[in-house]
Structure 1
Amino acid sequence: MTPLSAIGWHWTPATLPPAWAALGAAHPQARPARVVEQHRSGYRVSEVIDVVHPAESLPEWQRAGSYRKGEINPEARPAVGDWVLVEGSAPKSLRIVALLPRFSAIKRGAAGEHYRQQVIAANIDTVFVVCGLDGDFNPRRIERYLLLVGGSGVQPVIVLTKSDKPEAEVEAALAALRTLDVPVLALNAKDPASASALAPWLAAGQSIVLVGSSGAGKSTLTNTLLGNEKMKTGAVRERDARGRHTTTHRALMALASGACLIDTPGMRELKPTGEEDVAESFADIEALAQQCRFRDCKHTNEPGCAVRVAIASGVLEAGRVDNFLKLDAEVTGAANQLATRLAQKAQARVQGKALHKRLDAKYDRH
């Protein structure tokens, strides 16, 4: 295993994506590194397993979180898991000079009134959607996570922690998720033997991100897989099973198996970006919708609605249908915001070109 492959690099010169090779040719003095931490003040990157250094980023990336005109979108900045090209020598003069195109990215709509996307993790092979079998257990929230992951080319795996509950409770939880058509595992996040069930997704060169609410057991599971108490953990409140944010930033860590693991802070707001495919995430409901009497059936009170018939007969859970309708409306709204934003950018480019043309004519510039 090469130093880079130990942190997720699985390309040879012959298989290197053309766009990556072109950037390498444009920066002949640069070398690849992986972003392992992202902070407000900057980045930390790694070229060798367990060796991390701060890296100065391009000025436009440092300003990308603001709304000043002309600056790049926040989602175009490097994120944890990204591969970048760096120049200089560690640890004091390392500079990021280029962001290599991503082969996958897990994104959500950023909080706030303005439409923005936030990259949770980049260049990921698998997402562990972690949910505790206590008050944290919420199939509707799991469906929301799967919607955000869907279409990204990343394999989702639902990981139910705190499986020391009565067997009947564990089985009921598993039954509630079997319609989602993704792998579901119940395990004890504190027990290495139990966590070994995740081994099929932790092979050398694989990159995995853990997502879930605070207190779900992400950091506990990370520590178990690492074999040491690297990540801080905390207890949940007994009255509502809510956890505190013990993880405050995203961080990539290498496992002994050769895989890379990214732990993330708990996310209480999961807004769609508008690029999600609701029909794909709820294929069972979409298939039934094709049997509705009306093509534009809203699946509420319309006559001849196959979806409502399935609910009445126990084939579909009413809560899942309600969540489908809610998420469909959210994705449509976000898609409209995205379309407006893209149109505004296109118009700004047209106006900018027209202005330059007028100035060229006025001042006889060629």
Structure 2
Amino acid sequence: MSSQQHQQQHTSDVLTAYGWDADRSTEFTPYSGHGLIPGRIARVDRSLCEVVTADGIVRAGHGGGELPCTGDWAVLEIPDDGREPFVAALLERRTTLIRSASSGRSEGQVLAVNVDLVGAVVPLDVVPDLGRLERLLTLAWESGARPLVVLTKADLAADADELRRDVEAVAMGVDVVLVSAHTGEGLDVLDAYTAGQTVALIGTSGAGKSTLTNALAGAEVTSVQEVRGDGKGRHTTTWRELVPLPNGGVLVDTPGMRGVGMYDVGEGLDRTFADIDALTGDCRFVDCTHTSEPGCAVLAAIESGDLPQRRLDSYRKLLKEARWIASREDHRIRAERAREWKLIHKEMRRSPSPKK
């Protein structure tokens, strides 16, 4: 085996634990032989990244182009003149988990990329907020990854099975797993789902994501804090980072989300509300808004009791929010183009006129 083949084998063996595969190896081929190495971004801290490479963790700078995110596969340059390593390029993102920025701006906030499975974590120590779950599922579907609902703290619920049925009624086409990190219930089932997968856990603070991460990792890899006296969770994880699991999976533990804003979620909304989407095909009017039109199949389902009013209200709310974000995005793009043209015209006026 040549030294280059040995290096490639070493790279593959180490990075496979983080999701490296034959397709990624093919993507990296154009960069081979140019002093560049592949790695997976485990954490982003302002202008620096922690990148998992075949030879260990490397802290690297980044700048210009697309901002790196936890889960990205990076093309890393490590100069031999003592300069800081830096991310030269990013390989193609297969999936992107994104929500609207918490500030209310039109830009999206990328939570994780190249994720295979998105676990919407819902605690059962309180009655599940089905509207919030629908938000989480919409983000998960839109990412391109496979959604999964993880009901935690099952040992603290007197009627866990009944709560699970309530959740299954809105989590259409999505598996629901009941777990308790305290008793170990359901952890073997969840372990089977996460084996060999890159998994992102999303949910509110106090939902049990950090406890679940430690249970799946078989070690305390992230700190855990008690839920506050008012029932709200404290933020335990304050950044996103990759955690390798014994089953060959990789877990992204994300910070608790107080707000779950919609961002470009057309297909995700249709998948989450598949029951409403199916009914719209029977409406008399193609552009039916399901508010007061005659022959509306959605309103008929409400009348008959086949569709809960809460479900339709939630759909309307998320749709309105998504459209508002889209309009803000269009306005921002138009404003940016106007600024660009203004600068171009300004430069043209400064340029000397050609002599006749």
TM-score bracket, shorter-length normalisation = 0.7 to 0.9
Shift of 1:321: 0.8
Which residues of 2 match residues 60-79 of structure 1 at below 5 A?
Answer: 60=64, 76-79=66-69
The match for 2:150 is 159
2:26 pairs with 1:16: yes
The match for 1:196 is 188
The match for 1:65 is none
The match for 1:28 is 34
- Equivalent position to 1:140, from 128, 131, 154: 131
Contact 2:97 2:142 in 1 (8 A): no
- Equivalent position to 2:328, from 323, 333, 337: 337
- Cα distance, 1:287–1:353 mapped onto 2, change above 3 Å: same
Contact 2:94 2:114 in 1 (8 A): yes
- Cα distance, 1:194–1:89 mapped onto 2, change above 3 Å: farther
CA distance, structure 2, for counterparts of residue 151 and residue 247 of structure 1 = 24
2:238 pairs with 1:248: yes
CA distance, structure 2, for counterparts of residue 244 and residue 360 of structure 1 = 58
2:59 pairs with 1:54: yes
Contact 1:274 1:338 in 2 (8 A): no
CA distance, structure 2, for counterparts of residue 189 and residue 262 of structure 1 = 18
TM-score, reference length from structure 1: 0.83
Q: Counterpart amino acid of 2:182?
A: K
Q: What are the ranges of 5 or more consecutive residues in structure 2 without an aligned counterpart? A: 1-11
CA distance, structure 1, for counterparts of residue 168 and residue 148 of structure 2 = 11
The match for 2:72 is 82
The match for 1:3 is 14
- Equivalent position to 1:95, from 82, 86, 89: 86
Shift of 1:216: 0.4
- Cα distance, 1:160–1:38 mapped onto 2, change above 3 Å: same
- Cα distance, 1:29–1:315 mapped onto 2, change above 3 Å: same
Shift of 1:268: 0.9
Shift of 1:47: 0.8
Contact 1:274 1:333 in 2 (8 A): no
Contact 1:148 1:276 in 2 (8 A): no
Shift of 1:105: 0.8
Q: Counterpart amino acid of 2:60?
A: A
Shift of 1:36: 0.6
TM-score, reference length from structure 2: 0.85
2:207 pairs with 1:216: yes
CA distance, structure 2, for counterparts of residue 287 and residue 351 of structure 1 = 47
RMSD: 2.8
**Percent of paired sites with the same residue:** 34
SS of aligned partner of 2:26: coil
Q: Counterpart amino acid of 1:78?
A: P
The range that moved more, 32-41 or 100-109, is 32-41
Q: What are the ranges of 5 or more consecutive residues in structure 1 without an aligned counterpart? A: 61-71
CA distance, structure 2, for counterparts of residue 213 and residue 152 of structure 1 = 19
The match for 2:163 is 172
The match for 1:259 is 249
